Amino acid sequence: MSVSKIFVKNYSSEEIDCFVSQYSRSEGSDSWFPLDPQQGDAWARKSGGWELVAFRRRDSGENAPRAGKYVAVGRGRIVQFYGFEDIRVD
C-alpha cells in the first residue's frame, strides 16, 4: 500500500476546523483539527483512494457553516481554504 499526504492550508482570516475522512486508510484520525489563519497541516492516506476534506467555523456549535471537497489521493495534493465558498484543490 502506497501512502500519500494531503496537505491542507488555511489562507483565510477565519479560525476553522478541518477533518480528512478515512475512506482509504483506517489508520490516522478523522477527528476535527484546528487550523488557524495561514496555518497548514498534513494527513496521510492511501494513494489512489478518495477522501473528503471538510471545514467548519470554529466554536459555532452544531450549526456551524461547513463545506468540503472530495479529493483523489495522490502525490502532493494540496487543499487550499480561502473561504466556505472558495476551496481549491491542486
- What does pLDDT average to over the chain? 93
DSSP for 25-81, written as a single string: -SSS--S-EEE-TT-EEEEEEETT-EEEEEEEETT--TT--EEEEEEE--TTEEEEE
Among 12-16, 26-30, 31-35, 44-48, which stretch is predicted with the lowest mean pLDDT?
26-30
Count of structural domains, the chain: 1
Whichever domain contains 35, its CATH number is 2.60.40
Owner of C-alpha cell 481554504: 81
Q: Are 16 and 56 in contact (CB under 8 A)?
A: yes
In this predicted model, which residue has the larger pLDDT, 86 or 3?
86
Identity at 38, one-letter amino acid code: Q
Give the residue numbers spanning the domain of 28.
3-89
Between 50 and 1, where is the model more confident? Answer: 50
Provide the terminal-to-terminal Cα distance of the chain, rounded to the nearest Å.
23
- Grid coordinates representing 23? 475512506
